[in-house]
A = this chain, B = another copy of it.
Amino acid sequence: MDHLADVLRQLFVLLLAAKIGDELFKRLRQPPVVGEILAGAIVGPAVLGWYEINPETMLFAEIGVVLLLFQVGLETRLHDLVRVGPTALAVGALGVALPFGGGFLLAEMLGSPLVVAVFLAAALTATSVGITSGVLRDLGALRTQSGRVILGAAVIDDVLAMLILAFASGLAAGSVSLDRIAALVVVAVLFIGIVLVGGTRILARRRSLLTDPEFAETPFLPGMIIMLGLAALASQIGLAAIIGAFLAGMVVGESSERHALESEVAPVAAFFTPFFFGFIGAQVDIAGLGNVETLALVAAVTVVAVATKFVGAFLGAIRRGRAEATLIGWGMVPRGEVGIVVAGLGLQIGAIEGQLYTVVVAMAILTTIIVPPFLPALVRRAEGPVPDLTPESR
């Protein structure tokens, strides 16, 4: 009971702080998510210590980003993703290859051992699509072609990053099992394929399926059950839970009552997503950044992370013209919680040590904070005035 009381207090503090940050940044005409992240940093362990990283607060953060991607999935139709498939594939592949190469070269230049170099490279690869898709949603730009390329590329990106992580973990454990990595590819591709093609087809054929049960008047609860199930399954097979949630959203979005569903998911997501953004900020270790060497390393890693991801994704999208390719490249830059998870795993299995962990976390947060301020202008340049530009309430 006492522990629960503490957790309730911490959740209260984080939600309140995030919403104050949101409020201030809205009034300053800056991206509210950045305000939420900074607020999380202030109440988190690094500054005030009113909020701590524990299993319960991590769960709320995870549910927050899972709901965000579920919402994004609801607004995404399979045939739209398929149409941008080749571009998304190129963006995903080049947007993973260049950061991996860049991270590896940087670590080699610094004289790091092979295992450390591979882990740093792995931490630089995966985009966190949560931030960009959240901002694009607010701008009403999720259904533009560029928005769809970013979403499709994020799925491909996550599969590739999972494989690289499996490779890096194997290397740290002393043996890389190519069989195991091949099995991972097969499982991941099967999971995505079966869920997307099978799921959307079943629901497209029988659109009332989600409202047939008597416990459900709307597709909301059946949809949430599917979301939790696919998020759990995705993370069980080594993908990010958010990929499962995104796929669940796409499948459930085929329901005949998608709009009722969206309006019921919206408050749940609005309640939970601040815990995710605040949590990202709370990870920062300001004390650990307190010397010149570490700061220089943060700068170097961040520059490499931004430049390689931007150039890779830009080149992948170049056939869509410079304006769209710039938006797509920039939208893929945030590493967010995925970079932090990879670094945490490296720390846990002993592949990297404390300083590099701090550096990677700082890189993940910096790449996440710098992206939102420039997105509105890039969206305008790439897509012109977006038809439904009314910011949706988050």
Contacts and interface: CB of A to CB of B under 8 A. Distances in A.
Interface of A: 1, 3-5, 7-9, 11-12, 15-16, 19, 22-23, 26-27, 32, 54-56, 58-59, 62, 66, 213-218, 220-222, 224-225, 228-229, 231-232, 235-236, 241, 264-268, 270-271, 341, 344-345, 393
A19 B220 contact: no
Contacts of A224: 15, 271
A222 B56 CA distance: 22
A225 B14 CA distance: 10
Given A4-B58, A15-B228, A220-B271, 8 more contacts: A1-B344, A5-B232, A11-B228, A11-B232, A12-B228, A23-B215, A55-B56, A267-B268
B16 A229 contact: yes
B12 A232 contact: yes
A5 B228 contact: no
A267 B265 contact: yes
Contacts of A220: 267, 270-271
B235 A62 contact: no
A341 B1 contact: yes
Contacts of A266: 264
A217 B393 CA distance: 7
A139 B235 CA distance: 40
A318 B315 CA distance: 80
Nearest to A3: B55
B229 A27 contact: no
B16 A225 contact: yes
A29 to B, nearest CB: 11
A235 B8 contact: yes
Nearest to A21: B215
Nearest to A345: B1
A58 B237 CA distance: 26
A4 B56 CA distance: 10
Contacts of A268: 267-268, 271
Report which residue of A12, A54, A222, A224 has the largest number of chain B beta carbons within 10 angstroms of its beta carbon.
A12
28 contacts: A1-B341, A1-B344, A4-B59, A4-B62, A5-B236, A7-B55, A8-B62, A8-B66, A8-B228, A8-B231, A8-B232, A9-B232, A9-B236, A12-B225, A12-B229, A12-B231, A15-B224, A15-B225, A15-B228, A19-B213, A23-B213, A26-B215, A32-B215, A59-B59, A217-B393, A221-B270, A221-B271, A264-B267
Contact of A27 (B5, B214, B345): B214
A215 B8 contact: no
A90 B288 CA distance: 59
Contacts of A217: 393
A8 B7 CA distance: 19
Contacts of A11: 228, 232
A5 to B, nearest CB: 4
B23 A214 contact: yes
Contacts of A3: 55
Contacts of A235: 1, 4-5, 8
Nearest to A10: B232
A159 to B, nearest CB: 16
A55 B32 CA distance: 31
A264 B7 CA distance: 24
Contacts of A271: 220-221, 224, 268
A271 B66 CA distance: 14
A46 to B, nearest CB: 22
A391 to B, nearest CB: 10
Interface centre among A8, A62, A232, by most chain B C-beta atoms within 10 angstroms, is A8
Contact of A7 (B12, B27, B59): B59
A308 to B, nearest CB: 24
